[in-house]
Structure 1
Amino acid sequence: MVFIDAIHVKIRDGAVANRPIYAALAVTTEGRRDILGLWAGDGGEGAKHWMHILTEINNRGENDVLMLVYDGLKGLPDAVETVWPARWYRPVRSTCCGTPSAIPPARTGTRSRRCSELACTAPTEDASLERFAEFADTWGKKYPAIVRLCGNGWEEFTLFLRFDTEIRRIVCTTNAIESVNPRIRRAVKARGHFPNETTALKCVYMAIMSLDPTGKGQARWTMRWKTALNAFDITFDGRLSAARQ
């Protein structure tokens, strides 16, 4: 399983501007986390840029990815279909997954209630459509952007409903890369802005290398993934078991 996400840093290139640094984090067949790489971008990356990154990962030997999780990175779907054809799934980790960050701030209780009303907890696609219709009726006038975002991504979101609840929980609520990002953001914020993208990449790299010096965090993480790994193995017809052998 591979998560791809961006951390935005300030880089001085004539003028100071926000630039994304993309991190690819893998969860191995043993449930261990591994950062596959860091890449700087300009925010307008297309299929060619993602093709370069995914081909690089593939050439290192990561040639069987069960699931890729990302947030609306344009051009990435086309590149994935070329590098790993017919071997991947991409549930969108956004509003339709019910993440609190996707919901506008509100009074205590209201925000969590809105999250629970979203469609990701439904057992089937039909039930999900019913919940989405109820959600749109209740909140559509006040928060039309949320309803529009869900509607635009509905075809991709329905892929998500094909998976076991353990897999859904891992993708939506224990997002692997979001547990890494806060440490990176603190390191970046402490330094303000960077003279070039190389120094920014070095800062992010050093923050990642200092995440778990004792290895205890990795051990706890592996234990939490045991149930999900069993669900992955069943869903993907034993491909995890084959990869371990």
Structure 2
Amino acid sequence: MTTMTISKELLDELLSGVENADDLLGDKGLMKELKVRLMERMLGAELTAHLGYEPHGEPARQQSNRRNGATRKVLKGNDGAVPIDIPRDRDGSFEPELIRKGQTRIDGMDDKIIGLYAAGLSTRDIRAHLEEVYGLQVSADLISRATDAVLEEVSDWQNRALEPIYPIVFLDALRVKIRDAESRQVKNKAVYVALGVTPEGEREVLGLWIANTEGAKFWLSVMNNLRNRGVEDILIAVVDGLKGFPDAINAVFPETTVQTCIVHLVRHSLNFCGWKDRKNVAKDLKRIYQATDDVEAEKALADFEAEWGRKYPSIAPSWRRAWQEVIPFFAFPPAVRKIIYTTNAIESLNRVIRKTTKTRGSFPTDDAATKLIYLAIRNFEKAGRCVREWPLSDASIACR
């Protein structure tokens, strides 16, 4: 792009009538008028190129298509409402590139709307913000059309090809209030999220899916989706304690080690104890999952039961019921175990999603929820994708 220099004389001439900031930057100021005039000049140049003759000139004798005045169009932009005279031709074949047919917004207004939507603002809040800040009165339909453009991006993202191998994949489901299309009642629907860690140690959200309830049958369809998009193997799948979940994973990825999410298990355990004991109970539970091996872990569980079993008899049995999915990660080095049991990656993702969705009481449709959650995921991945202290050189990650 060529750098353009405006002469001092021209600037002096332009600013000769400017006496205050409003004369320069106001709704009827020089900057807005200059912007309109430059755009109209460029549109005129486009029409000249289209017709092949200059304004006030004569077209070729055999040419029937000519200039045909202009149509006033009011665009919405950073400066508020911007009236532009769009030149026309007689046969209607002129399609300007600067302002396309059907275009109603300029200056990245769509990006502003999407940014506000991603921050969790409702359609009503976005309308109020645009009117207060930019003096624009926009319809709810316009905002919906702008945010609906995200759905095409979501579709491409949801169907993109994935890596053939993921050393670790965290699988979780959150609850979001969405109005059901058939009953028109607001329901707590399950939002399924899969977060993978690549062999290079980068976090990657593999997809999101919405269903009426969380169940192993739907997780099976998620596994098939990952397989169809190119995933050949998952070394470790970290899951909650949902019944049938391990079978759903191993039906598609039979070699995958299924590991119960330690954070889920600890939280479930703390639900059984009083507030004053929570800190000490959590400290003693940590001795179980930070043990050097499964033998030491089982001894730590026995010690925990001896200490707390009489007061909180439900905690130790809940760990024993899930024991076969608790102990697999002891086969891996401490650096890998730490990534699994801290689950910082999936926890931080869930925190971003909850923070974004909590401002909305409920969503009118699945698509509305999908748009907002996808934008939250996009912001999450922009914040940094590398897993700290990723054991890249460890042979247990490179191969089974």
TM-score normalised by L of structure 2: 0.52
Shift of 1:124: 2.4
Deviations 1:123-182 (A, max 9, x none): 122222221111112112322232221011112212122221111110111431111111
For residues 239 and 129 of structure 1, what CA distance do their matches in structure 2 show?
A: 28
Alignment counterpart, residue 65 of structure 1, candidates 212, 220, 234: 234
Shift of 1:4: 0.7
Partner of 2:171: 4
Partner of 2:396: 235
Partner of 1:92: 260
Q: Is the 8 A contact 1:95 1:102 kept in 2?
A: no
- Runs of 4+ in structure 1 deviating by more than 4 angstroms, as ranges, are 99-102
Q: Is the 8 A contact 2:239 2:260 kept in 1?
A: yes
Q: Is the 8 A contact 1:100 1:112 kept in 2?
A: no
Deviations 1:16-55 (A, max 9, x none): 22111010011101111111110112224233x2222111
For residues 16 and 142 of structure 1, what CA distance do their matches in structure 2 show?
A: 40
Partner of 1:114: 281
* Counterpart code for 2:248: A
Once the two structures are overlaid, the 10-residue window that deviates more, 176-185 or 76-85, is 76-85
Shift of 1:58: 1.2
Q: Is the 8 A contact 1:100 1:111 kept in 2?
A: no
Higher relative contact order (CA 8 A, sep 6+): 1
Alignment counterpart, residue 19 of structure 1, candidates 177, 189, 196: 189
Partner of 1:134: 303
Alignment counterpart, residue 333 of structure 2, candidates 143, 149, 164: 164
The yes-or-no answer on 1:38 pairing with 2:208 is yes
| Runs of 5+ unmatched residues, structure 2 | 1-167
Give the 3 Å change call, closer, same or farther, for CA 79–96 of structure 1 in structure 2.
closer
Root-mean-square deviation over aligned CA pairs: 2.3
Partner of 1:54: 223
* Counterpart code for 1:239: C
* Counterpart code for 2:258: R
Among all aligned residue pairs of Structure 1 and Structure 2, give the percentage whose two residues are the same amino acid. Answer: 35
Shift of 1:235: 2.0
Give the 3 Å change call, closer, same or farther, for CA 145–85 of structure 1 in structure 2.
same
Give the 3 Å change call, closer, same or farther, for CA 225–59 of structure 1 in structure 2.
farther
Give the 3 Å change call, closer, same or farther, for CA 166–55 of structure 1 in structure 2.
same
Q: Is the 8 A contact 1:55 1:83 kept in 2?
A: yes
For residues 35 and 239 of structure 1, what CA distance do their matches in structure 2 show?
A: 22
For residues 93 and 37 of structure 1, what CA distance do their matches in structure 2 show?
A: 19
Shift of 1:100: 5.7
Partner of 2:318: 149
